A = this chain, B = another copy of it.
Amino acid sequence: MKRGGQLRSEWVIAVQGKVVPRGIDMINPKIKTGDIELEVHALHILSKAKTTPFSISDEHVLVNEELRLKYRYLDMRRGEITHRLVTRHQLMLAVRIFMDEQGFTEVMTPILAKSTPEGARDYLVPSRTNPGSFFALPQSPQIFKQILMIGGLDRYFQIASCFRDEDLRADRQPEFTQIDMEMSFATEEDLFPIIEALVVQIFKTCKGISLSSPFEKISYRDAVEKYGTDKPDLRFGMPLVRIDDLALQSHFSVFLEQIRGGGIVKGICVKGGGDLSRKKIDEYTALVRRLGAEGLAWFKMEEEGAVSSIGKFFDPPLLKKIAEKMEAVHGDLLFFVAASEKITNQALDHLRRTLAKERHLIHPDLYAWAWITDFPLFQWERETGTYASEHHPFTSPHMEDLPLLDTDPLQVRSSSYDLVLNGYEIGSGSQRIHSSELQEKIFHILKLSDDDIKKRFGFFIEALQYGTPPHLGIALGLDRLVMILTQAEGIRDVIAFPKTQKATDLMLEAPSEVEKKQLKELNIQAYL
């Protein structure tokens, strides 16, 4: 056909014709429409296209990410982004239908809100009508959903846009989305089954997968003890085992000194790890050193017993006891780190996950969920010499730990919980404080001045005083969930128009300069 020959890639055309079978020699089983063709009767060119800056193809192409972000619409034509956006859509709809069935009302809370201290920097919006004043974009709908409980709504949810002006780590976005919910007159025993049923529904809808529930519950202390982290990947074993008592029976000065200095000794058993080369072990040693440990001790379990360069510091019966405690058998390899509790846990957590990845211990179809509970209420901020909320300042302490608030705040457990999946934190929530006195007390422990409390939370403290039902809630990271469901590499891949790590939109060329007139109207001045 003559006009057909003029067509170029990415032109938009309208065609009338008849679908006919392809000739035998033209059949292409590799494409969906490979056994038919169209006998064209009429052809209209709707839109021509100039040459695209990179080739559009369904195959994964190695195009510079910045170029793909600038031409997001062309990247979309490759199909992968669209597929993820469709999954995201299906997930959002499944959430909404499920939450509605459970009696939750979706309420849209304001984007033009107020600066609140949820741990990150606020995005501010200058007010034109109130010179010198600013709105803040919400870091979460936390205050609003608690206010809704005070207002008597009982069951709220929202798929909410949240904003944090942070220096972006690899997989953060200034604008992200959470599945946010709150309920009154309820406890974890009411909330957990709802959330479990919700994610079961999501996985069924989006992946056709049947998850089993209830999910495992692990206390924060147990999680850190056993996996070195509060977001353990439970798709494989290899728990961290503490051997302080046995280490003390050795003559290995590194272990002894660490323990005497307040540190600990923990190890992991790599099943069949006896095949690890010396080079690999050196790599892992470098890994734990980067994380602050001084070194990585190891023992190979051979027929004649444990073999190690530091073997001479351990009597054979002691080695046997260690092997027993680690459940190590012939062919396994043991790794040990001796350092402060924090460094030991971090190092072994990383090492454990690295080993699982490299040794293919993770079944790709496995989804390992767990609740991590009873986080500490506070953490100590060394820089400022103050307590900071581990979750957020509205989190209720454990009622039995209340007396510790005055004597040893760091020992106070909170009624909070994280939902983890495959080593990712998917959600975080808590029972909230519903007493204004307790809320004020917590603010004081956080060293917020009376003036600060009044300016930032005055209205909220007051609201708590008019009869607040006990309530609790949770927020799930929607972007992260979609990322896992679509096997995307990062949350950037599941957001239609993401920002770069420098918080810019390369397609829009935003942020951008604005007219002086605009700034003048807002009563602000920009200086460089």
- Given contact pairs A46-B470, A110-B496, A112-B175, enumerate 8 new A-B contacts (beta carbons under 8 Å): A47-B435, A75-B151, A108-B496, A124-B522, A136-B510, A144-B497, A458-B509, A459-B507
Residue in B47, B75, B113, B470 whose beta carbon sits within 8 Å of that of A434 in the complex: B47
A238 at the interface (CB under 8 A from B): no
Q: Which 5 A-B pairs have the closest CB atoms?
A: A49-B467, A76-B151, A133-B511, A114-B510, A73-B151
Return 7 A-B CB contacts under 8 Å, by A number. Answer: A52-B466, A93-B100, A109-B496, A110-B175, A112-B499, A123-B125, A127-B503
Question: Which A residues are within 8 Å of any B CB, using their own CB?
Answer: 10-12, 14, 46-50, 52, 70-77, 81-82, 85-86, 88-89, 92-93, 96-97, 100, 105-115, 121-137, 143-144, 147-148, 150-153, 161, 163, 165, 167, 174-175, 177, 185, 434-435, 455, 458-459, 463, 465-470, 495-497, 499, 502-505, 507-514, 518-519, 521-528
Query: Hey, which chain B residues are within 8 Å of A497, CB to CB?
Result: 109-110, 144, 147
Query: Are the CB atoms of B510 and A144 closer together than 8 Å?
Result: no
Query: Are the CB atoms of A153 and B123 closer together than 8 Å?
Result: no
Residue in B70, B133, B463 whose beta carbon sits within 8 Å of that of A513 in the complex: B133
If the complex has contacts A49-B467, A97-B93, A125-B125, are A77 and B459 also in contact, measured as CB distance less than 8 A?
no
If the complex has contacts A85-B107, A124-B125, are A132 and B526 also in contact, measured as CB distance less than 8 A?
yes
Q: Which B residue sits closest to A150, measured CB to CB?
A: B73
If the complex has contacts A124-B126, A463-B73, A509-B114, are A46 and B131 also in contact, measured as CB distance less than 8 A?
no
| Cα distance A399–B429 in the bound complex, in angstroms | 56
| Cα distance A152–B49 in the bound complex, in angstroms | 14
| From A14, A109, A135, A514, residue with most partner B Cβ within 10 Å | A135
Residue in B93, B132, B468 whose beta carbon sits within 8 Å of that of A528 in the complex: B132
If the complex has contacts A132-B528, A463-B73, are A89 and B106 also in contact, measured as CB distance less than 8 A?
yes
| From A85, A150, A512, residue with most partner B Cβ within 10 Å | A512
Query: Are the CB atoms of A153 and B76 closer together than 8 Å?
Result: yes
| Cα distance A303–B37 in the bound complex, in angstroms | 78
| Cα distance A507–B130 in the bound complex, in angstroms | 16
Query: Are the CB atoms of B77 and A151 closer together than 8 Å?
Result: yes
Query: Are the CB atoms of A148 and B496 closer together than 8 Å?
Result: yes
Q: Which B residue sits closest to A73, measured CB to CB?
A: B151
Query: Hey, which chain B residues are within 8 Å of A82, CB to CB?
Result: 151-153
If the complex has contacts A77-B151, A163-B111, A467-B11, are A134 and B512 also in contact, measured as CB distance less than 8 A?
yes
Query: Hey, which chain B residues are within 8 Å of A499, CB to CB?
Result: 110, 112
Query: Are the CB atoms of A528 and B131 closer together than 8 Å?
Result: yes
Q: How far is the CB of A37 from chain B (nearest CB, A)?
A: 21
Q: How far is the CB of A447 from chain B (nearest CB, A)?
A: 16
Query: Hey, which chain B residues are within 8 Å of A513, CB to CB?
Result: 132-134
Residue in B112, B126, B467 whose beta carbon sits within 8 Å of that of A174 in the complex: B112
Query: Are the CB atoms of A153 and B47 closer together than 8 Å?
Result: no
| Cα distance A510–B455 in the bound complex, in angstroms | 10
| From A14, A121, A465, A497, residue with most partner B Cβ within 10 Å | A497
Residue in B114, B136, B161, B455 whose beta carbon sits within 8 Å of that of A108 in the complex: B161
Residue in B70, B86, B96, B434 whose beta carbon sits within 8 Å of that of A96 in the complex: B96
Q: How far is the CB of A396 from chain B (nearest CB, A)?
A: 13
Query: Are the CB atoms of A467 and B47 closer together than 8 Å?
Result: yes
| Cα distance A277–B47 in the bound complex, in angstroms | 64
Query: Hey, which chain B residues are within 8 Å of A508, CB to CB?
Result: 110, 113-114, 143, 459
Query: Are the CB atoms of A523 and B514 closer together than 8 Å?
Result: no
Q: Which B residue sits closest to A9, measured CB to CB?
A: B467
Query: Hey, which chain B residues are within 8 Å of A50, CB to CB?
Result: 465-466
Query: Are the CB atoms of B151 and A512 closer together than 8 Å?
Result: no
